[in-house]
Structure 1
Amino acid sequence: MIIGNGLIATSLKNIDSDEMLFFASGVSNSLETRRSEFEREFTLLKNALENNRNSKLIYFSTLSINDQSKQNSHYVLHKKEIENYIQKNSDNYLILRIGNIVGRGGNPNTLFNYLKTQISNNNKFALHTKARRLLIDIDDIAQFLNISCSQIKNETINFAYPYYYDLSEIINAIQVKMDKKAHYEEVNEGDFYKVTFDENINAFFSKTSAENYIKILTEKYI
């Protein structure tokens, strides 16, 4: 059973199962501050758990939980609260903390969509030279779950390609694919946070180099 209708929910349709409860509905805007939006997701989750006690819960959280600069944001506090609730109230769950998703459509403010739009429109933008990002192909979420979900129980896993891309690497790959030059100004700012990836994640991506992964993303989604 899939709850949600966004990018993640759509990507899971081919692996939908009565034995699994994929909770892919929630607050998508990390800058959201309205309490009503967070309460709506929490209520929906509680009801879904109560009505599907025999199903394994798959919940999609965020790697931003590891970002020390965002520890007091409404979004991160909300995600932590939900994770804690699941850990205390579900007998069979998997929490995936997701990195920067790359896919077709979705939120126009995601990193890939934003850069694609700026380059396409010849807009000048700032490149933070100290920033690093963890990326994940939307298709890899369903593929990983299809392979590994049944083997993992009651764990919280960081999920992204295990390489910290700097923005110039991402922009260069997009430029090559679009055959169009980006107009940006380098700014000596930006940050990133370190996360730990377990053996399941490292094994899943072991056959793909960081250079090839970014090429795959641009070929598919640019």
Structure 2
Amino acid sequence: MIVGTGLLARSFMSRFATRSDTLIFASGVSNSHETSRLQFDREFEMLAAMRRDHTGRLVYFGSCSVTDDDRRHTPYARHKLAMEEFVVSDEGGLVVRLPQVVGRTENPHTLTNFLHDRIESGESFSIWANAERNLIDVDDVAAITEVIIAGMEPSESRVVTIASERSISMPALMTTFERVLGKKANYSLEEKGGRLHIDARFAQQIARQLGIDLGEGYVERLLRKYYGRPN
């Protein structure tokens, strides 16, 4: 069973839409800049209701921002951490922490959609000079998560991080995006940000077993897949 209609929900549709033993909760707050208590409470109430009505495994998508020095104190990160604690407090809860997920979506709040739209429009914007981000393909998230679920005991609860092997600085990400689009971006640098602290070794080992290369060149391949110009 799948709750949600967005990017993550669609990526799990072929694998879990008809399974009654697993509930993929891919709904709720997706904007990392959200500050509304009303929106946070709405997501919790929905998740709690699903937890009560479903006896199988519950899969919830957390955020790597909960361990990020730049963002872990934001209302969004605090909310996500509270949701994680709720999910794993019961048997059969799986939290999958994710970085910046990339795929085909109209959501303007994703990092890559924001950057793509600003570069294409020529609109000026600013980025944090010292910040790092980690990008992951939504298709890879679904494939790796399926293996993780298959390897868990029915009553087991855990938190797992899925991320690529190399985080990228925002200036380097801009350079890569410019190369993919063949167009210069109109941006300025703010002396803000810091390094990411992500440990995704378990998921990366599964990726290698699946033949998914999350290493060198992954970010550029990912951007070309979803934003590259047709030949």
TM-score by length of 1: 0.90
Where does residue 224 of structure 2 map in the other structure?
A: 219
Deviates more, 1:159-168 or 1:94-103: 159-168
Where does residue 171 of structure 1 map in the other structure?
A: 174
Where does residue 109 of structure 1 map in the other structure?
A: 109
Tell me if 1:93 matches 2:93.
Answer: yes
Structure 2 CA distance for aligned equivalents of residues 41 and 161 of structure 1: 27
Q: 1:191 aligns with which of 191, 194, 204?
A: 194
Structure 2 CA distance for aligned equivalents of residues 26 and 76 of structure 1: 14
Q: 2:185 aligns with which of 158, 182, 186?
A: 182
Letter of the 2:107 partner, please give it: N
Change (3 A) 1:21 1:217: same
Change (3 A) 1:106 1:20: farther
Where does residue 58 of structure 1 map in the other structure?
A: 59
- Contact 1:7–1:106 (8 Å) recurs in 2: no
Equivalent position SS for 1:68: coil
Deviates more, 1:33-42 or 1:185-194: 185-194
Offset of 1:207 from its aligned partner? 5.5
CA shift digits 1:12-45 (9 cap, x unpaired)? 1111122210011111122222222111111111
Offset of 1:70 from its aligned partner? 3.4
CA shift digits 1:102-128 (9 cap, x unpaired)? 111242122211111111011233243
Change (3 A) 1:161 1:186: same
Percent identity over the alignment?
A: 30
Q: 1:157 aligns with which of 156, 160, 178?
A: 160
What are the residue-to-residue correspondences of 1:141-156 with 2, within 5 Å? 141-152=141-152, 153-156=156-159
Structure 1 CA distance for aligned equivalents of residues 21 and 137 of structure 2: 25
Letter of the 2:166 partner, please give it: Y
Offset of 1:188 from its aligned partner? 3.1
- Contact 1:131–1:166 (8 Å) recurs in 2: yes
Count of matched residue positions in the alignment of Structure 1 and Structure 2:
220
Structure 2 CA distance for aligned equivalents of residues 121 and 68 of structure 1: 31
Letter of the 1:121 partner, please give it: S
CA shift digits 1:50-93 (9 cap, x unpaired)? 1111x1111101111112343442222221222111222x2112
TM-score by length of 2: 0.87
Where does residue 41 of structure 1 map in the other structure?
A: 43
Where does residue 73 of structure 1 map in the other structure?
A: 74
Structure 2 CA distance for aligned equivalents of residues 69 and 105 of structure 1: 26
Gaps of 5+ in 2: none
Equivalent position SS for 2:105: coil
Offset of 1:5 from its aligned partner? 1.3
Deviates more, 1:63-72 or 1:205-214: 205-214
Structure 2 CA distance for aligned equivalents of residues 96 and 176 of structure 1: 31
Structure 1 CA distance for aligned equivalents of residues 180 and 12 of structure 2: 27
**Regions of 4+ moved over 3 Å:** 68-72
Structure 2 CA distance for aligned equivalents of residues 6 and 48 of structure 1: 18
Structural RMSD (CA): 1.9
Equivalent position SS for 1:70: coil
Letter of the 1:197 partner, please give it: A
Structure 2 CA distance for aligned equivalents of residues 192 and 13 of structure 1: 34
Structure 2 CA distance for aligned equivalents of residues 204 and 79 of structure 1: 25
Equivalent position SS for 2:45: helix
Structure 1 CA distance for aligned equivalents of residues 107 and 12 of structure 2: 17
Deviates more, 1:29-38 or 1:201-210: 201-210
Equivalent position SS for 2:217: helix
